[in-house]
Amino acid sequence: MNLKELVTGVSGDKQFLLGNEAAVRGVIEAGVSIAATYPGTPSSEIGNILSVLAKDANIYFEFSTNEKVAMEVAATAAASGLRSFTFMKHVGLNAAADSFMTTAYSGVNGGMVILSADDPSLFSSQNEQDTRNYAKLANMPILEPSNCQEVKDMVKYAFDLS
């Protein structure tokens, strides 16, 4: 698919997307202003796509120094009233845990969504981990899409929930 179609497509258009592409489309439809990440598989494609499309989608995007910095960039934007998005692999949430917990309890003024890409079968990571336990610990809602359509829809819904 032509990546530009993720920006120019009209809501309701049918497209054949991978899960990470569907997440990007959800971010665009949700009106995100700022997105930050530290790349790591299985979420790397989201950053690769956003780095190409961010300017056209009017999104400030950065590859941060690490996951903690990415979490803090997104949290600062959301505290300022902007919609922000950060995403990382499951091990990255370990690195960002302090900032995640602080943000969970201090709250945000704009919407903030955190996407943690787990690797339950150890296809591309150094360990298996279930990050749902972080959501429990922080008393944060967790959404678990089961297909690409749900990825896009739940990203948008997560901003409304936030």
Give pLDDT tens digits for 126-144: 778 888 999 999 999 999 9
Confidence of residue 81 (pLDDT cuts 50, 70, 90): very high
Rounded to an integer, the average pLDDT of 47-55 is 96
Rounded to an integer, the average pLDDT of 86-112 is 95
Here the CATH number for the domain that contains residue 88 is: 3.40.50.970
Residue 145 lies in a domain: yes
Per-residue model confidence (pLDDT) at position 127:
77
State the average pLDDT for the chain.
92
Residue 4 lies in a domain: no
Residues of the domain holding 50: 17-118+127-157
Per-residue model confidence (pLDDT) at position 122:
64
Rounded to an integer, the average pLDDT of 99-123 is 89
Residue 30 lies in a domain: yes
Burial call 58-88: b when 16+ CB within 10 Å, e when fewer? ebebbebeebbbbbbbbbbbbbeebbbbbbb
Per-residue model confidence (pLDDT) at position 8:
76
Per-residue model confidence (pLDDT) at position 111:
95
What φ, ψ does residue 38 adopt, rounded to 5°?
-120, 125
Confidence check: pLDDT of 121 > 80: no
Residue 134 lies in a domain: yes
What percent of the chain shows pLDDT beyond 70? Answer: 96
Residue 6 lies in a domain: no
CA distances from 115 to 14, 49, 146, 156 (A): 23, 15, 14, 12
pTM confidence score: 0.92
Residue 3 lies in a domain: no
Residue 31 lies in a domain: yes
Q: How many domains does the chain have?
A: 1
Which has the higher per-residue pLDDT, 122 or 54?
54
Residue 111 lies in a domain: yes
